[in-house]
Structure 1
Amino acid sequence: MSNNINNIEQLSSSISLSAVEVGKHLYWQIGPYKVHGQVFIVTWLVMGTLLGIAFAGTRTLKRIPENFQNFMEYVLEFLQDIAKNQIGEHEYRPWVPYVSTIFLFILGSNWAGALIPWKLIQLPEGELAAPTNDINTTVALALMTSLAYFYAGLRKNGIGYFSRYIEPTPVLLPINILEDFTKPLSLSFRLFGNVLADELVVSVFTLLVPILVPLPVMILGLFASSIQALIFSTLSAAYIGEAIEGHGEHE
């Protein structure tokens, strides 16, 4: 009887420990769910900015591009190259919107966290930061990529897509299945860890030294943020290309 009581006490303490929350958050109640309000606020601002730039750059299209339209076409060519190089010249076009959206959203989110002094804006609870500074956002992006490459593989190869799990030998079945779980984990934690580390470094330098000294660190952070967006979108395209081909040539 005493052992059962001890087990119950240990279980209750474990549940209490799992409910411990790191930091404070501004919660919004949406039906039965609670969401982090500060993440939604910055996410909407980033999406609104991206949509505004896209509208401004495509409002008056000309046959011979000038000024901002020229810049927008350069960005489009750059994003098309990411998809083409990883997915293949004959299969990449349907995936350009997805790869481009992933890259631009992550880039906009990272730069919003690096350039805008969100800490100056006071909230009832929590504080504003880059959406990619929240593990929920990065995990959601990684899961979207997982769904995308499963869809790509099934759409191209049908049920035969699952034969890749026993290639080149059925002995590798557990490892190949485990790989599909490690891909989203790797994508999400890499992005989350790098963005969080960058914001922490800039915050510490700003507190310890005058405002002009952390500028080189901020510039380095902008460069690192751009690289993280490129890595995430490139790996997403590579996983989609691998699923379409049905083997691990991209790995």
Structure 2
Amino acid sequence: MYHDHFYSQEIVIPFLDLSSVEVGKHLYWQLGNYKLHGQVFIVTWLVMSVLLGIAIWGTRTLKRIPARLQNFMEYILEFLQDIAKNQIGEHEYRTWVPYIATIFLFILGSNWAGALVPWKLINLPEGELAAPTNDINTTVALALLTSFAYFYAGLRKNGLGYFARYIEPTPVLLPINILEDFTKPLSLSFRLFGNVLADELVVSVFTLLVPIFIPLPVMILGLFASSIQALIFSTLSAAYIGEALEGHGEHD
């Protein structure tokens, strides 16, 4: 009887259900036939609102001789431009600065939201609030955006000749080159998700054990690690786009 019941439970589990990829409990919102992770959307909207508010506030009165806030905003822009320029190249990088900047700022804001805000103090009917990048679905979506971006970049510049890269330097490498394009988004998404999840777990454990002093250095280290993860993700995204743009054509 036990074995029959066990196997009957296994039969109803779908062989492949991408929507079931999750870690822990979630607050679900029902939208038609789909279930959305509500707590992820709540914090995502908050992060986007803060980033948008800072952008509007910092650029509302631009001056030839910039003040402190404008100086800060210009420094951030130059920093993000340098990331794109170093990885994509002098002639092509300007087109991709908005994408690379958006990816960096969103991941940085999401990671910092998880490291700085005590979301666990807010009780939900089910699940708990956390950094959006603490959810595997968010990191996979960001990685897929990068995949679409570098395919688009390569096809836009080189046309169908872009796919010739799969048989270079020899057609024998065709399976390996195809596999590489599948592993890129996987490595991007799981690296970001794993690091953010590990950081939040460490802070939570230390907070439970020693609530006052010990978590502070760990939180500071978490902020640094969160910034590094945003930098790594955006730099690798720019590098993949730059690699796709090389193709067979020459820069203009």
Do these two structures clear the TM 0.5 threshold for a shared fold by scoring above it?
Answer: yes
Residues 33-80 of structure 1, C-alpha deviation per residue, up to 9 Å, x if partnerless? 110000000000000000000000000011111110010000000000
Aligned-pair identity in percent equals 85
Gaps of 5+ in 2: none
Q: In structure 2, what is the equivalent of residue 52 of structure 1?
A: 53
Instruction: Name the aligned partner's letter for residue 13 of structure 1.
Output: E
Partner residue of 2:150? 149
1:84-103, aligned counterparts within 5 Å? 84-103=85-104
Structure 1: how far apart are the matches of 2:142 and 2:97? 16
Rounded Cα–Cα distance in structure 2 between residues aligned with 1:69 and 1:208: 42
After TM superposition, give the deviation of residue 17 of structure 1 in Å.
8.3
Q: How many residues align?
A: 241
Show CA shifts across 1:71-130 (max 9, x none): 000000000000000000100000000000000000000000000000000011100000
Q: Structure 1: which 4+ aligned runs deviate by more than 2 Å?
A: 9-12, 14-23
The 3 A distance-change label for structure 1 pair 223 and 21 is closer
Which residue in the other structure is 1:3 paired with?
A: none
Q: Is contact 2:84-2:97 (8 Å) kept?
A: yes
Q: Distance in 1 between matches of 2:92 and 2:143?
A: 21
Q: Distance in 1 between matches of 2:243 and 2:48?
A: 29
Write the deviation string for residues 209-232 of structure 1: whole angstroms up to 9, x where unpaired. 132211001000000000000000
Q: Which residue matches 1:64?
A: 65
Report the alpha carbon displacement of residue 14 of structure 1 after superposing the two structures with TM.
5.0
Output the CA distance in 2 between the equivalents of 1:167 and 1:11. 49
SS at match of 2:35: strand
Partner of 2:36: 35
Q: Which residue of 1 aligns with 2:107?
A: 106
Q: Tell me how far 1:23 sits from its aligned partner.
A: 2.3
Say yes or no: does 1:13 pair with 2:14: no
Measured in 2, the distance between the counterparts of 1:116 and 1:144 equals 27
8 Å CA contact 2:112, 2:226 repeated in 1: yes
Looking at structure 2, the residues matched to 12 and 244 of structure 1 have their Cα atoms a distance apart, in angstroms, of 49
Q: Structure 1 residues 156 and 113, CA, compared in 2 at 3 Å: closer, same or farther?
A: same
Aligned Cα root-mean-square deviation (Å): 1.9
Instruction: Give how far 1:32 is off.
Output: 1.7
What TM-score do the two structures reach when normalised by structure 2?
Answer: 0.92
Q: Mark the runs of 5 or more structure 1 residues left unpaired by the alignment.
A: 1-5
Quick one: distance in 2 between partners of 1:68 and 1:135?
A: 34
Give 2:199's aligned residue.
198
**Alignment partners' CA distance in 1, 2:158 and 2:14:** 45
